A and B are shown apart, each in its own frame.
Chain A
Amino acid sequence: MTEHFDAIVVGAGPAGNSAALVMARAGLSVLQIERGEYPGAKNVQGAILYADAVERVIPDFRDSAPLERHIIEQRMWMLDDHAYVGSHFRSDQFNEERPNRYTIIRAQFDKWFSSKVKEAGALIICETTVTDLLRDTSGKVIGVKVDRDDGEVTADVVVLADGVNALVSSRAGLRPELKPQEVALGVKETIFMPRETIDARFNLKGNEGVVIEAAGTITAGMTGTGFLYTNGDSLSVGIGCLISDFAKSQVRPYFLLERFKQHPAIAPLIAGGESKEYAAHMLPEGGYHAVPQVHGDGWVMAGDAAQFLNAMHREGSNLAMTSGRLAAETIIAAKKAGKPMTAATLKAYRKALEDSFVLRDLKKYRRLPQILETNKHFFTDYPRLITHAAETMLRVDGVPKLDKERAVMASFRSTRKLRGLVVDLVKLGRAWR
């Protein structure tokens, strides 16, 4: 006999977990299905956790969640092969009672998150992959099929939170195939070293942490960025570029990471550490224009599956949690009103997303993915020009400053031409709004 639930959630990442938790807490019968050995087993992230999105689902998460450090300093670096220029922002005010950003280890965090979902009353099964959606004769989604015997189970609504690959959604024709220029591949290493070494190297005390975001020639001419985050007694170091660029350049991702680790700006920070974990994962970076249809008869889609990722600000898990929560709230409201889970009812979810930062931020940067993808000189010429300019101005060698300034201007003009410079400026300006 086939079992029936109010809702089935596919996936136990941030999107699926917040959807399942919110619905279970509201008294809905929820079945959550995860293909990994346990929730978090398959998940890779830098990882920065944004407190606000978690708080809206679990207000007292700080009491029990496995958090590494709260972030008090952000470094943004532009690198050429030998140097970096950048900005650092550090504030003692980030040492607040309820810090806004934390570093986390995703495998641990997801496990913890899942324990909360369970407490709320959802039924969670792992090591089970959803292979297909069940539909009635009208095409309405009425359940899922899993890779086990007697593997059919039905529900009023299915929440697709199956991550960037979204094989279920793609196979069911709910989402177009991913395009290589809209997906990045991130590789990451966790490098262990004593807590005190990290504290000393980054000038930290207690649970303070630092984030470094880096762009420039480190990506070997490809569109992408690198990062370094401080955890309790380890550092997360990673780099990611568009899949289409990797395909074209034939550069191996781990080679890129090795090179990044050897950069003179990074090497001393990780020196002496022991690399213990290596992971690779995709990121949906197509932005607003790549967002597919996110609701239909009997289904909604949340998180990476729906391309909710803000590459510019490296935010993903918060968009995932927020979209999961909004999906859940839509479903709960429909259920309360006794409405059927049709596309017309679930349209409220899309509306809620449009009113929230999720779609508003993606919309703001809607032009950015295409501009960065097609203007590689932002990752090659500019870092070189800017570091070179800094070096020229700082070197005291008897050359008058005016001559130095002229030389710098000339280097910009000869590389990008005046017209190019103006066009780049306009492009970036447009990308920002």
Chain B
Amino acid sequence: MSQGPNMVVCIKQVPDSAQISVHPVTNTIMRQGVPTIINPYDLFALEAALRLRDQLGGKVTVLTMGPPMAVSALRKALGHGADEAILLSDRFFAGADTLATSYALTSAIQKLDSQHPVDLVFTGKQTIDGDTAQVGPGIARRMGLNQLTYVSAIPSIDLEAREICVHRRAEGGVQVLKTKLPCLITMLEASNEMRRGSLPDVLRSERAEIITWNAEAAGVEDLGKCGMKGSPTKVSKVFAPQPRAEKAKMIKADDGSPASLATAAIETMLAEDAGLLKVMAPQSTSA
């Protein structure tokens, strides 16, 4: 193996939320037939890892925990240029919340680490189906890695000094952070653009054997920390938000000019909600 960084990118297969529909007859979500995609945020993580590999050599392994059908997400990742793919699949993993998920992924990364030390672990900022942003930090915590979240760029990495410098989005600006390897990075959206894999990449991805690990093969020590059992999160209720019963209103102005239309609109709003005036008053005096 080359001297470059050994990287693991955690990805998740999610339903393409843009294409989810509600069954018109039964009113249930039509999961069947909804195309699945790689969680879009994870693609920024994968591309960031691929760029480092292009620059420095090394290896990019994609890792996912999921049902057998998640191999298609791994194949896609290979088609984008990842070197190796591992699927964590076991009925013990089913029903996992973020705590249990990070436990299982950590076991697998530790196993990889024991075979060849891992320098960088990547995840996306969050998933589009869970929106928790907890799995990445969970892995970092369990593995005792430095964690760099919401990373928008990786300007430099020094494998000799085992140091990495990143840009991290923070409230009101960008932090420039430096830390020691190994570490965990969660990538921010729009931090890069996923490449289109070459023809050899795509051919390789279709032929590749996807390594599948069950709990035992992944070196999971405590099955009680996996899946439903290891998930303290309880979902008490799932409901669809009530559509708001607001109606549009046609507002007419005498001469139809933009200025008088705007005046008419403001007058209508104030007339309908007297509270607005109170909110506006103190601001207008202090301004």
Given A38-B35, A108-B33, A125-B206, CB of A153 within 8 Å of CB of B25: no
Residue in chain A with minimal CB distance to B30: A276
Does more than half of chain B's interface fall in helix, strand or loop, or is it mixed?
Answer: loop
In this complex, which of B21, B196, B199, B206 has the most chain A Cβ atoms within 10 angstroms of its Cβ? B199
Residue in chain B with minimal CB distance to A194: B25
Query: In the assembled complex, how far is the CB of residue A211 from the closest CB belonging to chain B, in whole angstroms?
Result: 22
A37–B72 Cα distance when bound, in Å, is 12
Q: Mark A142-166, 1 if CB is under 8 A from B, else 0.
A: 0000101111110000000000000
B 61-111 contacts with A by CB, 8 A: none
- Is the beta-carbon distance between A274 and B203 smaller than 8 angstroms? no
- Is the beta-carbon distance between B200 and A150 smaller than 8 angstroms? yes
- Is the beta-carbon distance between B24 and A276 smaller than 8 angstroms? yes
Chain B positions within 8 Å of A276 at CB level = 21, 24
- Is the beta-carbon distance between A151 and B198 smaller than 8 angstroms? yes
Would you call A124 an interface residue if the criterion is a C-beta within 8 Å of the partner chain's C-beta atoms? Answer: yes
Q: How many residues of B contact A (CB 8 A)?
A: 16
Chain A positions within 8 Å of B196 at CB level = 148-149
- Is the beta-carbon distance between B25 and A193 smaller than 8 angstroms? yes
- Is the beta-carbon distance between B25 and A233 smaller than 8 angstroms? yes
Would you call A128 an interface residue if the criterion is a C-beta within 8 Å of the partner chain's C-beta atoms? Answer: yes
Would you call A83 an interface residue if the criterion is a C-beta within 8 Å of the partner chain's C-beta atoms? Answer: no
Q: How many residues of A contact B (CB 8 A)?
A: 22
Query: In the assembled complex, how far is the CB of residue B205 from the closest CB belonging to chain A, in whole angstroms?
Result: 8
A151–B33 Cα distance when bound, in Å, is 31
A194–B23 Cα distance when bound, in Å, is 11
A193–B206 Cα distance when bound, in Å, is 39
- Is the beta-carbon distance between A125 and B24 smaller than 8 angstroms? no
Would you call B278 an interface residue if the criterion is a C-beta within 8 Å of the partner chain's C-beta atoms? Answer: no
A149–B23 Cα distance when bound, in Å, is 41
- Is the beta-carbon distance between B25 and A192 smaller than 8 angstroms? yes
A 232-250 contacts with B by CB, 8 A: 233
A48–B203 Cα distance when bound, in Å, is 34
- Is the beta-carbon distance between B24 and A148 smaller than 8 angstroms? no
Residue in chain B with minimal CB distance to A128: B202
Would you call A97 an interface residue if the criterion is a C-beta within 8 Å of the partner chain's C-beta atoms? Answer: no
A 138-190 contacts with B by CB, 8 A: 146, 148-153
Residue in chain A with minimal CB distance to B200: A150
Given A38-B35, A108-B33, CB of A128 within 8 Å of CB of B199: yes
Query: In the assembled complex, how far is the CB of residue B25 from the closest CB belonging to chain A, in whole angstroms?
Result: 5
Residue in chain B with minimal CB distance to A275: B24
- Is the beta-carbon distance between B199 and A148 smaller than 8 angstroms? yes
Would you call B207 an interface residue if the criterion is a C-beta within 8 Å of the partner chain's C-beta atoms? Answer: yes
Would you call B197 an interface residue if the criterion is a C-beta within 8 Å of the partner chain's C-beta atoms? Answer: yes
- Is the beta-carbon distance between A149 and B199 smaller than 8 angstroms? yes
Query: In the assembled complex, how far is the CB of residue B146 from the closest CB belonging to chain A, in whole angstroms?
Result: 35
- Is the beta-carbon distance between A124 and B206 smaller than 8 angstroms? yes
- Is the beta-carbon distance between A123 and B203 smaller than 8 angstroms? yes
Chain A positions within 8 Å of B206 at CB level = 123-125
Q: Mark A263-274, 1 if CB is under 8 A from B, else 0.
A: 000000000001
A148–B198 Cα distance when bound, in Å, is 5
A38–B203 Cα distance when bound, in Å, is 15
- Is the beta-carbon distance between B24 and A150 smaller than 8 angstroms? no
- Is the beta-carbon distance between A148 and B25 smaller than 8 angstroms? no
Q: Mark A357-395, 1 if CB is under 8 A from B, else 0.
A: 000000000000000000000000000000000000000
- Is the beta-carbon distance between B202 and A148 smaller than 8 angstroms? yes
Would you call A403 an interface residue if the criterion is a C-beta within 8 Å of the partner chain's C-beta atoms? Answer: no
B 9-35 contacts with A by CB, 8 A: 21, 23-25, 33, 35
- Is the beta-carbon distance between A150 and B207 smaller than 8 angstroms? no
Chain B positions within 8 Å of A125 at CB level = 202-203, 206
- Interchain Cβ contacts under 8 Å between A and B, 23 examples: A3-B200, A37-B35, A38-B35, A108-B33, A123-B203, A123-B206, A124-B206, A125-B202, A125-B203, A125-B206, A148-B196, A148-B197, A148-B198, A149-B198, A150-B198, A150-B199, A150-B200, A151-B198, A151-B199, A192-B24, A193-B24, A274-B24, A276-B24
Q: Which 6 A-B pairs have the closest CB atoms?
A: A149-B198, A274-B24, A192-B24, A148-B199, A151-B199, A150-B198
With A108-B33, A146-B199 already in contact, 18 other A-B pairs whose C-beta atoms are closer than 8 Å: A3-B200, A37-B35, A38-B35, A123-B203, A124-B206, A125-B202, A148-B196, A148-B198, A148-B199, A148-B201, A149-B199, A150-B200, A151-B199, A153-B199, A194-B25, A233-B25, A276-B21, A276-B24
